[in-house]
Structure 1
């Protein structure tokens, strides 16, 4: 059985790639490190965004595992335009996976991107992998495996959040494991 611990980054100062974790986010990262301290982890993949790296740095140092950065794990861009009603527009992209706003990425394209990462891990040698990413991208992967995971589930994610994906007998199941 292969396992992916899919992590949404800890509380951050903002949305740009260079946004750091807040003081509370740094505490959450330490809590994550403790949470994983008794688990066997073989590999850590992360979005190259600063908040994602900072989320997992403490654990990576503790386990002496190099963080592998993967651009496919960056957050999905809804649009390059300022959308005052962005939340409603995001909601529609959970129902219409092909919908694409100016300069943005459709839910379908973003799903394909993170699915490529998951499939590579499930087909690889390592048994237990941590993947650190962002809320929308995480939600789209979970929706792929369970179609009724939607907008409200995304809204109910926490920072951080952790889901365990298990690949066994050519089937993927998942459960939320964060408190």
Structure 2
């Protein structure tokens, strides 16, 4: 039986070194409403989120709409790039995506972060067969999860993600069958080139 996972990359947030409690910006709050309106058109059964505030705030509207509590799952939190602020973010991202085993001091390699995210995804697939699940998450971990199933989802794909951005991944058991993007600009569902 098929299951649809709607990965929601969080809306724009106000920068802070406090990853857990960094909130959405005013613009992010407005854009989160747009994401909610798109998701309201779908028969959503359950909402799961990274424990980070910006991810929760992005999906709390749809959770309220369907009358369900948001289930927090640490597996969907953003990848830890480094335990210290990095001087050159673009260079650091390039390094970890070039070598999946490489990790900055105190940070997660792509393989480690991907393993965490994929394990969380498989748990959801196992628990919610036949349902439509919204997952509030973050750009890098989302693309690492997608990359596990299809390597076309890489750092270049991550670079073009919007805030917020919604991708529908359709699975048949644990097999990814189709990926489609909900276009938050045009308020319509548009299919990417990927389908099996």
The TM-score range, normalised by the shorter chain, is over 0.9
The aligned residue for residue 167 of structure 2 is 163
Q: Which of 131, 134, 137 is the aligned partner of 1:130?
A: 134
1:72 and 1:118 map into 2 onto residues whose CA distance is: 8
1:79 to partner: Cα distance: 0.8
1:26-37 aligned within 5 A: 26-37=29-40
1:94 and 1:70 map into 2 onto residues whose CA distance is: 24
Stretches (4+) displaced over 3 A: none
Q: Deviations over 1:23-52 (max 9, x none)?
A: 111111111111011211111110111111
Structure 1 unmatched ranges of 5 or more? none
Q: Deviations over 1:73-132 (max 9, x none)?
A: 111111113321221121121231111110101110111111011111112235111111
1:177 and 1:122 map into 2 onto residues whose CA distance is: 21
1:170 to partner: Cα distance: 4.7
The aligned residue for residue 193 of structure 2 is none
The aligned residue for residue 102 of structure 2 is 99
1:164 and 1:103 map into 2 onto residues whose CA distance is: 32
SS across alignment from 1:123: helix
SS across alignment from 1:56: helix
Structure 2 unmatched ranges of 5 or more? 185-196
Query: Does the Cα contact within 8 Å between 2:24 and 2:54 map onto a contact in 1?
Result: yes
The aligned residue for residue 178 of structure 1 is 183
Number of aligned pairs? 179
The aligned residue for residue 112 of structure 1 is 115
TM-score by length of 2: 0.86
Is 2:154 aligned against 1:150? yes
Q: 1:60 to 1:100 in 2, by over 3 A?
A: same
Query: Does the Cα contact within 8 Å between 2:46 and 2:132 map onto a contact in 1?
Result: yes
1:146 to partner: Cα distance: 1.3
1:94 and 1:139 map into 2 onto residues whose CA distance is: 11
Query: Does the Cα contact within 8 Å between 2:80 and 2:107 map onto a contact in 1?
Result: yes
Using the TM superposition, name which of 7-16 and 103-112 deviates more. Answer: 7-16
